[in-house]
Amino acid sequence: MTEQQTIHLAAYWLPLLGCGVILCSWLAMRALRRMITTRQETPNEQIPTIDAEASGRSLIHSWDPRFKIIALLGFAFCAVSLQSPITILIALLLTIITLAIARIPWHRPLRRLLAMNGFLVMFLVVMPLTVPTHSGDTLVVFGNWQMLTCNLRGLELALIIIGKAWCVALLMEPLLATAPLGATLEGLTRLGLPGKISEMLLIAHRYLFVFLGEVQRMRSGMEARAFRPGRRWDTLRDLGNFVGMLLVRSFERTHRVYAAMQARGYTGTLPHHHQFRGAMSDWLQTTIWLGLGLGLVLVDRLGVGGF
């Protein structure tokens, strides 16, 4: 059993390091945000389009959605099972290569990574401070600040979590953006998802944008009546009424929508438009992906090659 190692740093390192890290990450975030907003088609869009890149041409685009879903979902589960930093780095590299093959504009995956920041930064800050100390850990103590002893194992754990989360987030773009949403959902139905559920997803996705327009209209109405988010209690009451109104309208709309669907011949299922043909290349690509994922898990667990 090895004792834990302790690195002593003078107390002034703590504010120095803290400020440095905060400043660097703030600057990086700001630069990234600016890059993303300048690349957007319309700067005010609140909800990105899922399948914006569906018309592109690449190896990933021509991949049958059914096979693509199985391969990438399987790979995602393999990726979150990894435990060593090196295999996670390899998995990240593979997903980045996929993004390059699919020729997806980089601001889309970047946006996904930014969305997770809050949750992941919390891990990065909290884990080093709260992880219980085991033998073999390296501790960093700043002068007399025993309260703020950092455990480097916690930092490593947090970084591993961030790596895995990024890996899956980057896979989402090739998985979803390279085929029309309808095709992806039909692929899921062929794979055994009940047709009702994929239909509900399609309807919910459609009406998201309708209600978003409604919210914007209601908001400009509120602002025209001099609503300013401010004094706590009044703001909460106004927001409660706002959400209540949105719900009332949605419940009224849902019956109208259903009546309209029936008037257009809806009998319980939406018609299918997509033809799926599994070619040799689909099988090959899927086998390669699943093989890579399982291989990484094997290397990770058995420690092959001294990892």
Ranges within 223-262 binding other proteins (CB under 8 A): 229, 233, 235-237, 239-259, 261
Scanning residues 34 to 53, which ones bind other proteins (CB under 8 A)? 46-48, 50
Scanning residues 107 to 126, which ones bind other proteins (CB under 8 A)? 111-113, 115-116, 119-120, 122-123, 126
Gap between the Cα atoms of 222 and 117, Å rounded = 32
Of 132 and 306, CB closest to other proteins: 132
Gap between the Cα atoms of 70 and 294, Å rounded = 13
**CA geometry: angle 114, 288, 290, nearest 5 deg:** 65
Of 63 and 123, CB closest to other proteins: 123
E-strand ranges in the chain read 5-9, 138-142, 145-151
Of 29 and 284, CB closest to other proteins: 29
Q: Residue 306 region, left (φ>0) first, then alpha (ψ -120 to 50), else beta?
A: left
Q: Nearest to residue 282, comparing CAs of 104, 74, 77, 71? A: 71
Of 194 and 278, CB closest to other proteins: 194
Of 134 and 284, CB closest to other proteins: 134
Helix (H, G, I), strand (E, B) or coil at 151: strand
Q: How far is the CB of 10 from other proteins (least distance, A)?
A: 26
Question: Contact between 176 and other proteins (CB under 8 A)?
Answer: yes
Pair of tokens at residue 143: 């002068």
Gap between the Cα atoms of 246 and 10, Å rounded = 56
Asked if residue 190 lies in contact with residue 277, where contact means CB atoms within 8 angstroms, the answer is no
Question: Contact between 54 and other proteins (CB under 8 A)?
Answer: no
Binding mask 134-173 for other proteins (x = CB under 8 A): --------------------x--x--xxxxxx-xxx-xx-
Q: Among 94, 99, 104, 127, which residue sits at the site for other proteins (rule: CB under 8 A)?
A: 127
Q: Among 22, 35, 80, 93, which residue sits at the site for other proteins (rule: CB under 8 A)?
A: 80
Q: Residue 305 region, left (φ>0) first, then alpha (ψ -120 to 50), else beta?
A: left
Of 236 and 279, CB closest to other proteins: 236
Stretch that binds other proteins, among 11-19, 59-67, 97-105, 200-208 (CB under 8 A): 200-208
**What residues form DSSP beta bridges with 140?**
7, 150
